[in-house]
Structures are given as structure tokens and as C-alpha cells.
Amino acid sequence: MDKIEITGGKSLHGKIKISGSKNSALPILAASLLTQDKISVSNVPNLSDIFSMLKLLESLNVKIDKKKNRIDLISSTPRSLLAHYNLVRKMRASFLILGPLLARYGEAKVSLPGGCAIGNRPVNLHLEGLGRMGVTFKIENGYVTGSIKGRLKGAKINLNQISVGATENLLMAATLAEGTTIINNAAKEPEISDLSKLLIKMGANIEGFGTKKIVINGVEKLKSCSYKIMPDRIESGTYALCVFGCGGTVKLENVNNEVCNHLIKVLKQLKSLQLKKIDNGTGLLIKKKKNIEISLIVRTKEYPGFPTDLQAQLTSSLLKTKGRSEIVENIFENRFMHIGELIRMGANLKQNGSKVIVKNCKKLKGAEVMATDLRASSCLVIAALMAHGKTTINRVYHLDRGYENLEKKLKLCGAQIKRVRS
């Protein structure tokens, strides 16, 4: 099992090219199931989660032609509409094939999903919404089986809590439904807008994406298109927090105005961190000024609030900052598994339920630590870059699910980091 070794204590200086968004790419790849025509997707990140989704699509008779960071997909009728446990267990986003399969074929059998163990993320919102569109479900032996006679029916769906995955699944299903579907309390993330823009290029009729109310007028079929995936805002935020923790100046390339504006907003409380849009919004210059005392309160929220996917990285970036900060996790109930590993390195942290208090630690020291999930792994990378001495991070397969060429990108900015292959 691979490890990453980091010798910390250096500031970061250089350029980092941001990859395409993982959280956009996964539903966009799943959307290829909605048509028999070719879908060509570019700016696809080279990640293990992407490989898992492609393997799952291939099992459903999708022909895949991969060229650098572009992927062509042609979806033909599969021999079986079964998404087996072995293909779904590693990644929660695999469940996003359910809506497209039901919309195009009227039936599907999908294993209950896996992914990071960061809390209870039930699929009931997906099933209740699809049930409103006429699907009958049964759950047995770890599988969800759904079926409907004829086409899905447009419906008014009121999500009782905001869910990115449920919004995506219902949005894709509704494109081929008969009549109009309204999704109320929909997720507003930029990745929802990215998926919607792809579907519109395929011929879908969608209004209101990016708001709490999405209206979809179903069409009979979707067509071929080419689409470029948006840049990854979580990867961008992770490197911005690397600079905040370590100091230095780094230019992020291959971003866009939406990513820049979002990061400038959610990181504005970090007074010693300067973020400036450059190159007409395709670049973001990040600079750490002198290390001033900061005391802040951050609560994770759905977009456009502070992302839960940056909570762990923020925690580690604050470890050497003077002051007392409070971070409250409101999205997932089990997203503080990194706290114990940071304490092993000397972090001055105290957790109380969904809240963690961060105080300045006298000395952050390298240690052997273990990644527990995707974002916790990048949090440990930030802590290791800040620490004195060498840190060895185990179980970095979590990192490979969401960060493309992380070691190479950081090394180009002066970090002492290497992968040790077992």
C-alpha cells in the first residue's frame, strides 16, 4: 500500500494547474447513459474515482475511448441492468446511474453505495423522488431494484433536505420523463449547474439550475454533444489552504470566475491570506502575508456557504496560527476522524460533538499518520507541510480518489514530498 513522505517547514512558491472537477465529472459521465449517441467530455481528472465510474459504465455496455483528459462515451443497450456490488462499493457517486437507467430503460438494479465513511448518507431522498415519478422500488440483499411501466412521469418533488446527489439523480431522470418535473429545495452547487449545462447541450429543457427550484420539461430523447468540465473548486481551496498554513505565493491556473469568487468569499475570514483574480478569472493568485493572530468561527453549510469538503483542510491550516478558532461541522456527523491523527503531530485541538476548537500549538512535529477518508488525507498533507521533520501518511489511496498529481504539483512549488510505493 502506497505511502507519502513529507519533510515540512518550507513555504510554497510556484504555479499549480487545477484539474477538472471530480464532483462534476462523475454525474456527467453517468449522464452518458441517457442517450445512445456519443458524448465527448474534456478536462476529466485522472483519478481513481473516475476509473471506478468508467469501469461501472463499461459493465453497462458503454463503449469508452479515453484520450489524455478527454473521454468519448457511447452507451448501447446493456445485457443486464445490474450494477454489481463489486463495482459500486468503493464510491458513493456510483448510485448516480440509477436515475439515467430508469429514465432510458424503465428498470435498474443497483447495489447500495460505498465511499468515504464520514457519516450516514441515506439514499432515501433519491428513492422518494423517483417514486414520485412513478418508480416502484424494493430493497433486498443490499440491492435497490426499481421499475416502471413506460416512461417516468413528471412530478413535483419537495426534498426535505438539501442533497447534491439526489438533485443530480432526479435532474438526470427528469430529462426523459413525460411532462414537467419541479425539484424544490434543490442543491445549488456549481457542479449541479455544470451537469445542467451538459444536459442542455444534449437537448434537455432545464430552467432554474443554481437556485432552489429547478424545472425540467421532459423530452423524448437526448443527443450527442461535447462538453468541458469545470475546474475543481475543492482542489483549488485545498491548495489555497496549503499556502495559508505554510506561507508563500502560489498561482492557481485553469480556474474560472465562479471558483475564484467562491474561494475569495469563503476564505475571507483568513485575514493574512490574500486571494486575487488574475488573467480574466482564469488564474487566482494566493499569497500569505505575515502570520497575524486570527480567531474565527466557521460553520459548514451547503453552497454557497463554507464547504464541508474543505473543513478538514481548514483545521490543519490553522494549527500554527495564534488565536482560538471554532469549526462546526453541520453536514456530516462523522467528519472529524482526522483530529486524532493531527493530535499525534502535536496539534492543540479539542473536539466536542460536531465542534472542534483550534488553538496555536507550540510545535507541530512530523509523525506517522493514517488517512481515514479523502479530505482527511489532504488535511494531513497540509499539516505535514507545516510540521518540523518527516511525516509519513499511510493509506493514501483515499487521496488518489480526489487529487490528481498532488505530489508533483506541490513539488513544483518547493515542497519536499514523495510517494513510496509498496
pLDDT in tens, 71-123: 999 999 999 999 988 888 778 889 999 999 999 999 999 988 754 333 445 78
H or E segment and range at residue 23:
helix 22-30
Strand order across the beta sheet in which 283-288 lies: 12-17, 248-253, 283-288, 273-278
| Residue 219 pLDDT | 98
Separation of alpha carbons 50 and 401, rounded Å: 8
Alpha-carbon distances of 352 from 16, 331, 341, rounded to whole Å: 36, 16, 16
Q: Do the domains spanning 3-19+231-420 and 22-228 agree at the CATH topology level?
A: yes
Q: What does the domain layout of the chain look like in residue ranges?
A: 3-19+231-420, 22-228
Separation of alpha carbons 406 and 313, rounded Å: 14
78 forms beta bridges with: none
Which amino acid is it at 386?
A: M
Strand order across the beta sheet in which 70-75 lies: 62-67, 70-75, 39-42, 225-228
| Residue 116 pLDDT | 38
CATH class, 3-19+231-420 region: alpha beta
139 forms beta bridges with: 144
Alpha-carbon distances of 100 from 150, 292, 293, rounded to whole Å: 14, 51, 50
Strand order across the beta sheet in which 107-111 lies: 82-83, 107-111, 143-147, 136-140
Alpha-carbon distances of 80 from 42, 76, 83, 107, rounded to whole Å: 28, 11, 9, 10
Catalytically annotated residues: 116
Ranges of residues in the chain whose predicted pLDDT is under 50: 115-120
Instruction: Give the model confidence (pLDDT) of 291-331 as tens digits.
Output: 889 999 999 999 999 999 999 999 999 999 999 999 999 98
Residue ranges of alpha helices (H) inside 202-295 are: 233-246, 257-266
List Cβ neighbours of 401 (8 Å cut-off, separation of 6 or more).
22, 47, 48, 49, 91, 374
From 3.40.50.261, 3.65.10.10, 3.40.449.10, 1.10.20.10, which CATH number describes the 22-228 domain? 3.65.10.10
| Residue 416 pLDDT | 98
DSSP secondary structure code for residue 269 in this structure: T
Alpha-carbon distances of 210 from 114, 154, 304, rounded to whole Å: 27, 20, 10
H or E segment and range at residue 184:
strand 180-184
70 forms beta bridges with: 67
